[in-house]
A and B are shown apart, each in its own frame.
Chain A
């Protein structure tokens, strides 16, 4: 207590002491947040990062198996891991392609809708992913012009955007490569077997009792 304090009455001392205590407390506690200042708007800026939407990602639920439309520009995956030589049953009237389990291939060898195909992972300029089934040579080694030209077009499409159009006079496909720089496609980040699973989720023939085979046998 300083000399001035000695001149104070007991009540005044008590008040003064209380004041000191309060002052000490005030010093010990963190300072009050500053009053909001509307003249410092840079500090008031809220992020426009759309944080709730960060977890939102696109799920591929459908991958068609089809030829590219004649007006599409397409690219084919250049990684051989995104191709598969296999066999399918192609129901033209229903526009449906069924993947066939290898242990049934011998059994289906004489079936006209059954054929070996190269499934190529492809994407069009609109971002639609699809599996392009290109006919492979049969057991006799014969490879028709349509299939050969489709294969060539698919190979060109690994490097640039290609439009594939049939030429009936020629009896083959013609590939038109886009002249402009259209950028590279954005391939989905998932392995090829996952793409296959999505594409053939309900179109996989792994038993002789499959409804498609029954129908082909005239049983359904």
Chain B
């Protein structure tokens, strides 16, 4: 417990709250206990609403401890309270301690308690109490007591869990993760502005739109029987079109979305089928979480993946896999949104952390792929995007694929070239970026020798009993990319930027139309600073795309499908 001596008070807190899809949380009660004095607070919603500030200090000499704190901090936000300056989130720390390992009862509070040998409330009891909270007012006096007791049981759990975990926690970096949870609460509260009228119209006609969509797209393929995707027809179409489709070890065609995505890049004729399958499979319109104020709000699921990337629900989040849906994003009247992304973030991380000067030069050149092709001697020194577009595209696939451990055969498949060309291209990468490959080998060795890898701010992944070398080699790019994104979110939100959400290597912001340029500049500054800190001085470029009301956001990959859906719904795509 030595680590906690810096703090005058350590408050362990938990809210119960009601949150309908797309809405901000509505706090029902708060229970909090101070660790050393044992002082207990049990506050019902009426008490909370009358409080202009939290019932304990939020200054830097007080530590606020919670499990999955973005929910608690979302209630702070909803109540208009000042955010705690120091947040320790035991969910983040449990996930960091166990990432990549098998956790029998999951990463929820029950899972953490079980892992550290404590009893917990039975899952069934937890579900029934959650249902009672979500039922909403009015509550009887007994129900109030029951909800407060239930809430207190989670706080009591934290008082056991914190002393058990604290010895394993790297507090300085844990507080940085807690800082990000504060930014998450702010972003989840703001949400993404959606064209609610268009969404409502699509939802209303969705069944018939889907049927007509199949009819429209399938007329060129003849794969569907009603709403059923027929595998034998798909196999026949592939043969007719001479497309070598990847197969599973069983010999069946691989039908997962990753395969479709990869093949759609190599064979553009596959792309409409992929978009149609995604659209139909996810029934996204019904589940997209949009509140009464026309804003998409959902849990960003911070630290959800092994590499610590956010992992929001594909069906609830507007930036899920269906690219066409993103055209529903439309700034409110008088405002604008901006999508700002780091330029070639993963390549830059690889170049910087590996210390490969040639790779760094390629990044700094502004066109990594063409410079790589020049360095490899595959195109003349005066080649341009225009004169050598095909070669550039090949070297782009190599440069990006290598970061994911793409094999020579996989590369050949992706590029639709003979395997020998795949081997040659991979060899060119190895020859051109020797230092990168030495470092990448060292990353894998480090993971196997020490059993884990860590990001610059200590996010760890454990190699486990059956390590996947491709994932291990890719970890530094993903985990440090996530660190960069988190730090940029912290800096931007703390400086008052209206940050809607992060999207992998990009941030979506909004501001009054007259202030959007300044907001973009502030965000780019935050992103630049974040890259410099994470990569020890190496600065990444960013690109920004501004969309002003009444225009809508769009993603190139989904523009055709958006136009088709609009046409089938009788709406203008504008």
Please list the residues of chain A having a beta carbon within 8 angstroms of any beta carbon in chain B. Answer: 32, 35-39, 41-42, 44-46, 48, 50-54, 56, 125-127, 179-183, 186
Contacts and interface: CB of A to CB of B under 8 A. Distances in A.
Nearest to A33: B6
B7 interface: yes
A52 B173 CA distance: 22
B442 interface: yes
Interface in B173-193: 173, 175-176, 178-179
A38 B175 contact: yes
Contacts, number: 78
B294 interface: no
20 contacts: A36-B171, A37-B60, A38-B86, A38-B179, A41-B487, A45-B533, A45-B534, A46-B456, A46-B458, A48-B353, A48-B476, A48-B480, A50-B445, A53-B441, A53-B445, A53-B449, A56-B445, A126-B427, A180-B378, A182-B431
> Which 3 pairs, one residue from A and one from B, show the smallest C-beta to C-beta distance?
A180-B377, A36-B172, A35-B6
Contact of A53 (B179, B442, B458): B442
Contacts of A32: 5-6
A183 B476 CA distance: 28
Given A38-B176, A41-B487, A126-B427, A46 B457 contact: yes
Nearest to A51: B446
B431 A44 contact: no
B contacts with A: majority SS: helix
Nearest to B377: A180
A50 B446 contact: yes
Given A35-B60, A48-B480, A52-B445, A42 B533 contact: yes
Q: Which of A35, A39, A50, A56 has the most CB of B within 10 A?
A: A50
B454 A46 contact: yes
Contacts of A44: 172-173, 176, 457-458
Contacts of B536: 45
A182 B441 CA distance: 22
B439 interface: yes
B468 interface: no
B56 to A, nearest CB: 17
B450 interface: yes
A180 B378 CA distance: 8
A90 B1 CA distance: 73
B212 interface: no
A38 B181 CA distance: 12
Nearest to A73: B427
Contact of A50 (B7, B376, B439, B487): B439
Contact of B457 (A36, A45, A125, A127): A45
A contacts with B: majority SS: loop
B427 A52 contact: no
A125 B480 contact: no
Nearest to B358: A183
A48 B173 CA distance: 15
A36 B442 contact: no
B61 to A, nearest CB: 8
A48 B440 CA distance: 11
Q: Which of A45, A56, A127, A179 has the most CB of B within 10 A?
A: A45
Contacts of A54: 442
A48 B477 CA distance: 11
B148 interface: no
A53 to B, nearest CB: 4
B28 interface: no
Interface residues of B, number: 40
Contacts of B179: 38-39
Contacts of A181: 377
Contacts of A50: 439, 442-443, 445-446
A52 B6 contact: no
Nearest to A45: B456
A183 B358 CA distance: 13
A38 B439 contact: no
Nearest to B483: A41
B144 interface: no
A180 B61 CA distance: 63
Interface string B106-121: 0000000000000000
Contacts of B277: none
B457 A56 contact: no
Contacts of B377: 179-182
B434 A186 contact: yes
A39 B427 CA distance: 43
Interface in B36-75: 60-61
A45 to B, nearest CB: 5
A58 to B, nearest CB: 9
A41 B431 contact: no
Contact of A125 (B6, B176, B427, B534): B427
Interface in B52-107: 60-61, 86
Contacts of A186: 434
A120 B458 CA distance: 49
B83 to A, nearest CB: 12
A35 B2 CA distance: 12
Contacts of B178: 38
A215 to B, nearest CB: 38
B96 to A, nearest CB: 13
A53 B175 CA distance: 29
Contacts of B450: 52
Given A41-B176, A46-B454, A52 B476 contact: no
Contacts of B487: 41
A50 B536 CA distance: 15
A178 to B, nearest CB: 8
A60 to B, nearest CB: 16
Interface in B453-504: 454-458, 476, 480, 487
Contact of A36 (B6, B376, B446, B533): B6
A70 to B, nearest CB: 13
A183 B457 CA distance: 37
A51 B533 CA distance: 21
A37 B86 CA distance: 9
A50 B377 CA distance: 31
A52 B449 contact: yes
Given A46-B458, A53-B443, 11 more contacts: A35-B61, A41-B457, A45-B536, A48-B456, A48-B476, A48-B480, A52-B445, A56-B441, A127-B430, A182-B377, A182-B431
B63 to A, nearest CB: 9
Interface in B148-186: 171-173, 175-176, 178-179
Contacts of A53: 441-443, 445-446, 449
A34 to B, nearest CB: 8
Contact of B172 (A38, A56, A182, A183): A38
Q: Which of A38, A39, A126, A181 has the most CB of B within 10 A?
A: A38
Interface string B409-443: 00000000000000000010011001000010111
A126 B430 CA distance: 9
Contacts of B353: 48
A213 to B, nearest CB: 40
A37 B176 CA distance: 8
A183 B375 CA distance: 10
